[in-house]
Amino acid sequence: MLTKRIIPCLDIKDGRTVKGVNFVSLRDAGDPVELAQRYADEGADELVFLDISASEEKRKTLAQLVRNVAYAIDIPFTVGGGISSVEDVGILLENGADKVSINSAAVRRPELISELAQKFGTQCIVVAIDAKQIENEWVVHLVGGKVPTERKLFEWAAEAVDKGAGELLFTSMDHDGTKQGFANNALKQLSETVSVPVIASGGAGTVQHFIDTFARGNADAALAASVFHFKEIGIPELKSVLRNNQIPVR
């Protein structure tokens, strides 16, 4: 059985790590390089770095900050934010990213997924999907959750994988920052819909929430931010409890 992954997420705005609730009300959470180093030392399996305002501000991800974070850690490192071309990805990989996460640009032009997968390999391409429930349907949103689309979660997920996504990062906007648990019913359906790993995001508040998303949501990895940033949950302790609950972790 494949081991489950624990992934801290650095949401970056203006060069600092921030965290909000339901994609708004951002507050400072610290220096991204220092946090990244701490997570690598504590045993995180991977790290995700999202420049959350890059798409909105039509600005490219901060390549120098990516380089600084990559230099400080020895675990796989995914970078997202404002990526819209093969050139963008090349710059990030040259600066130390192992994988890239694409979101808004992929929805607007799905062929981008195929172009990136052909150039860099599917294992390098993570398609991030931000969705919220509207009239009992999971609706995909863009630009940091500000713009609703006609896309529905499960259909878009299947298309993204068909186009070459090697992994999906699903964030429930309804659960984001609430610390009430992950969207496990949607995650379970998503994992049954696609053949690639699914990363759960949005809602982590307790160790039990991680247990639930692996056991009930069939997530392959769980991503969280504030519970790690503010030391509400320690990664070594979390992994110990997961092992005690027969959930395989590294």
The single residue of 45, 51, 88, 130 carrying the catalytic annotation is 130
Concerning whether 212 is annotated as a catalytic residue, the answer is no
What does the H/E/C string look like for the chain? CCCEEEEEEEEEECCEEEEEECCEEEEEEECHHHHHHHHHHHCCCCEEEEECCCCCCCCCCCHHHHHHHHHHCCCCEEEECCCCCHHHHHHHHHCCCCEEEECHHHHHCCHHHHHHHHHHCHHHEEEEEEEEEECCEEEEEECCCCEEEEEEHHHHHHHHHHHCCCEEEEEECCCCCCCCCCCHHHHHHHHHHCCCCEEEECCCCCHHHHHHHHHCCCCCEEEECHHHHCCCCCHHHHHHHHHHCCCCEC
The single residue of 11, 45, 51, 220 carrying the catalytic annotation is 11
Q: Which two tokens stand for residue 23?
A: 């994609």
Concerning whether 11 is annotated as a catalytic residue, the answer is yes
Catalytic residues: 11, 130
